[in-house]
Amino acid sequence: MTDSSSETQPGHETGARVPTIGRRSFIGVGAASLISAAVGFAVILIVPNVLDKPQATLFLTFWSFLFAWFGILGGLSSETTRAVHVSDRSSVPAGERREPRMVPVGLAVGVAIGVLLWATSFWWAPVLLHEYAYLALPLSCAVALYSGHATIVGILGGRLQWPTYVRLVIGDSLLRILLVVVVAIVAASVAGFAVAASVSTVAWLIGLLFSPTLRSAARARADAPLGSFLKRVGHASLASGSSAVLVVGFPVILSLTSSPEAYLLATPLLAAITLTRAPLLIPLNAYQGVAIAHFVNNRSAGFRTLVPIVRLLALITVLGAVLGGLLGPWLLTVFYGPDYVVGPWAIAGLVVGAGMLALITLTGALCLAVDKHRSFSFGWIAATVLAIVILLLPLGLDIEVRAVLSLVIGPIAGLVVHFLALRPARGISSEENDSTPPATAGGLA
């Protein structure tokens, strides 16, 4: 993870507009996201082949729970991207800055969550992990350590230091798969795989030893006093948790709102949900830091920054829905076998639902970029609540129809919240979530 080229903190010296990301870095971020996704898939493929079914189920439960918390800590990445992009453009001399350094604050948040997880593990660990309840300790430590990774990644994105960003994301993924493969060869067990998944969160600490860019990022300051910064991190993490419910946890919601009989027969639907989301949401999540930095760079443009992206998203969604309806049923049987049958209309609807989730992800990124933190989190909460309400309505519809309606209509509530917050009449540059303005004196690039 050694830096092979110098990277600058753009824009604050001259005030000139700086492109958010170059072509090579754009491709690099995409490659890093694909490698990260491939590693996750490889782990899920390796473990069931070396453990028996009950043990594999326990590890995959551990894995899912761990990454659910990683998803919540993604709020740290989003907020630090926005904060450092603003902070580095402050006109206050570095020696006079009094805002908190973001990595210590992020680590403090992570340690607090890790301690809370460990303190409550007597309640949740036996339910989730059964005889492996003691694995709550490495899980809690991993969550605490990952907060540093999430914060550093956010800072690199905010500074547009994409080459180091890419190396850190790839390094984290490669360390994870390396440790998992070693365990599979040497001592395959639930505990071994769980510890391997947990220990891999030290990648960013290893990177600090070799990368001056990472060490510089670790010294970055927020753009506001501690209280305001923590409040913004809280809203970003709340939004990340709510989005994780819809994006990652939707099968769980579906199981809790459906009869056991109907859910047991819904495996083809769950496979279709995964396949229809991946083409839109995996790249979008990878480039979310890019989007936030772009929106901050072009903050005064407001909704206009969304127009070209939304046009492209709408085109992809419409084409995807048509192709999904025509080819989706056949592709499902090719990938999973003849028993995996989902109607063409359902697959087309799921593609539209993925497009709606992508759209609310973009409007949420714009809310975050212009300091509409409450609206950012409330929009995602509204989307999640409406999606769950639709699943609970006693309409007598089958599970496919309910799933499609939930995923298509649910995000509308969040979009309404975001659009109301961003409408020009309110003034897009107003500070929403604190009565005290940030302590930095500089303007935005």
Specify the higher pLDDT residue, 35 or 350: 350
pLDDT of residue 19: 61
φ, ψ for residue 183, nearest 5 deg: -65, -40
In a domain, 440, yes or no: no
Report residue 100 as tokens.
């908190």
pLDDT of residue 307: 81
pLDDT at 427 over 60: no
Residue 153 near residue 292 (C-beta atoms within 8 A): no
Say which range, 177-191, 300-314, 344-358, 400-414, has the weakest mean pLDDT. Answer: 300-314
In a domain, 285, yes or no: yes
Chain mean position to CA 228: 22
% of the chain exceeding 90 in pLDDT: 34
Residues 97 and 242 placed together within one structural domain of the fold: no
pLDDT of residue 5: 43
pLDDT at 265 over 70: yes
Say which range, 208-212, 213-217, 256-260, 387-391, has the weakest mean pLDDT. Answer: 256-260
pLDDT at 79 over 50: yes
In a domain, 373, yes or no: yes
pLDDT at 350 over 90: yes
Residues 322 and 401 placed together within one structural domain of the fold: yes
- Last residue of one domain, picked from the residues 223, 243, 263: 223
Tokens 């992809």, located at residue = 316
The model's confidence at residue 289, banded by pLDDT at 50, 70 and 90, is low
Torsion over CA: 239, 243, 248, 254 (sign): positive
| Angstrom distance (rounded) from CA 423 to CA 418 | 9
Mean per-residue pLDDT over the chain, rounded: 81
Residue 83 near residue 208 (C-beta atoms within 8 A): no
pLDDT of residue 94: 59
The model's confidence at residue 13, banded by pLDDT at 50, 70 and 90, is very low
Residues 179 and 273 placed together within one structural domain of the fold: no
Radius of gyration of the chain (CA): 22
Residues 218 and 242 placed together within one structural domain of the fold: no
Say which range, 1-5, 45-49, 194-198, 405-409, has the weakest mean pLDDT. Answer: 1-5
The model's confidence at residue 4, banded by pLDDT at 50, 70 and 90, is very low
Residues 268 and 405 placed together within one structural domain of the fold: yes
- Last residue of one domain, picked from the residues 223, 247, 265: 223
The model's confidence at residue 313, banded by pLDDT at 50, 70 and 90, is confident
Residues 75 and 201 placed together within one structural domain of the fold: yes
| Angstrom distance (rounded) from CA 113 to CA 405 | 34
In a domain, 171, yes or no: yes
Residues 122 and 242 placed together within one structural domain of the fold: no
The dihedral over CA atoms of 57, 59, 64, 65, expressed in degrees to the nearest 10, equals 110
DSSP lists the bridge partners of residue 221 as: 101
pLDDT of residue 108: 94
pLDDT of residue 376: 85
Residues 243 and 362 placed together within one structural domain of the fold: yes
Q: What is the mean pLDDT of residues 37-54?
A: 79
The model's confidence at residue 443, banded by pLDDT at 50, 70 and 90, is very low
- Last residue of one domain, picked from the residues 189, 223, 257: 223
φ, ψ for residue 98, nearest 5 deg: -125, 0
* Model pTM score: 0.72
Among the listed residues 391, 386, 380, the one whose alpha carbon sits nearest the alpha carbon of residue 409:
386
pLDDT of residue 406: 93
Residues 316 and 194 placed together within one structural domain of the fold: no
What SS3 state is found at 221? Answer: strand
Torsion over CA: 175, 193, 266, 357 (sign): negative
| Angstrom distance (rounded) from CA 204 to CA 42 | 22
Residue 39 near residue 176 (C-beta atoms within 8 A): yes
Residues 111 and 247 placed together within one structural domain of the fold: no
Among the listed residues 384, 400, 64, 393, the one whose alpha carbon sits nearest the alpha carbon of residue 257:
393
pLDDT of residue 199: 93
Among the listed residues 444, 377, 429, 303, the one whose alpha carbon sits nearest the alpha carbon of residue 74:
377
Query: What phi-psi label fits residue 222: left (phi over 0), alpha (psi between -120 and 50 degrees) or beta?
Result: beta
Torsion over CA: 388, 63, 59, 127 (sign): negative
DSSP lists the bridge partners of residue 101 as: 221
Q: What is the mean pLDDT of residues 357-378?
A: 86
% of the chain exceeding 70 in pLDDT: 82
* Domain, as residue range, for 40: 23-223
Query: What pLDDT, in 10s, does the model give residues 181-229?
Result: 999 998 889 999 999 999 999 999 999 999 999 999 999 988 888 888 8
Most confident of 90-94, 292-296, 422-426: 292-296
In a domain, 39, yes or no: yes
Report residue 122 as tokens.
């007597």
Number of domains in the chain: 2
Alpha-carbon distances, residue 207 vs 166, 204, 316, 382, 436 (angstroms): 12, 5, 37, 39, 36
pLDDT of residue 18: 52
Residues 286 and 213 placed together within one structural domain of the fold: no
Q: What is the mean pLDDT of residues 397-417?
A: 92
Residues 94 and 185 placed together within one structural domain of the fold: yes
Specify the higher pLDDT residue, 281 or 210: 210
In a domain, 8, yes or no: no
Q: What is the mean pLDDT of residues 145-171?
A: 91
Q: Which amino acid is at 35?
A: I
In a domain, 411, yes or no: yes
Alpha-carbon distances, residue 233 vs 140, 222, 377 (angstroms): 20, 11, 10
In a domain, 11, yes or no: no
